Amino acid sequence: MNKRNWLAVFGVVYVLAWLIGLVIPTGTLSPSMPDAELRQALLANQTARLIQVYLIDGVAGISILLFAVAVCGLFQTPGEKNLARVVLSAGIAAGTMSLVQASIQQTMVNSALLTSAETPFRTLLVLINQIDTFKLMALALLSVSISTIGLRTHLLPAWVNWSGIVLAIALLLGGLSFAFTNAMLTVILFASLPMLLIWVGAVSTVMMNDFKQGMR
């Protein structure tokens, strides 16, 4: 086992960042809300939303990127180098888009912009949702590529691999909910988050256990 796989701990960090971020009460924002209402909602939860943004977009974005680096190291075998590069590319894409979202959301809770009547909050929120669609596509590519290699190499349990393939489908369908108003797609979107967290946590746990055994 490549000793770089201690980076698998960042999969656990990713899960924890999301779980902690989700319990922070910040209210719900929707592009259908007028700018004035969005401004009030952001003002009412400015500090809490900033902390949440740092966790679920900032910390999580960096963590998923480093998680992909760890998985790429695990699968750096002669027969799987191409798919390992896909894993790394998908992780970099997902992490980068998450950090871009963090920057935009940090801008939205900037004190100077919150007091300005000219700030296009709805436009920024729509942009965040559009980025989310592509981020979910990158995460789908990440999960399906890891699962495909896992099925070939048997380095991951079969249930983790098949769960990753189901997750990829859920992420792709869930991402469509930002483009199309459909109740079923919205349900799939919400269901895909716990699926993602469980899957990332499972992959990280397997990799960390293997790393510990390799250090003995």
Sequence spans of domains, the chain: 3-215
φ/ψ of 125, rounded to 5, equals -70, -40
Quick check: helix, strand or coil at residue 54?
helix
- Token pair in block for residue 136: 């979910």
How many angstroms separate the first and last alpha carbons of the chain?
12
Calculate what percentage of the chain has a pLDDT beyond 90.
Answer: 54
8 A C-beta contact, residue 5 and residue 205:
no
Digit-coded pLDDT (tens) for 170-208 = 999 999 988 888 899 999 999 999 999 999 999 999 888
Q: Locate tokens 């990753």: which residue?
A: 164
- Statement: residue 121 has pLDDT above 90: no
- Statement: residue 5 has pLDDT above 90: no
Nearest CA to 173 out of 191, 198, 146 is that of 191
pTM over 0.75: yes
- The pLDDT, as a whole number, for residue 215 is 38
How many other C-beta atoms lie within 10 A of the C-beta of residue 177?
Answer: 22
Type of residue numbered 215:
M
Type of residue numbered 169:
I
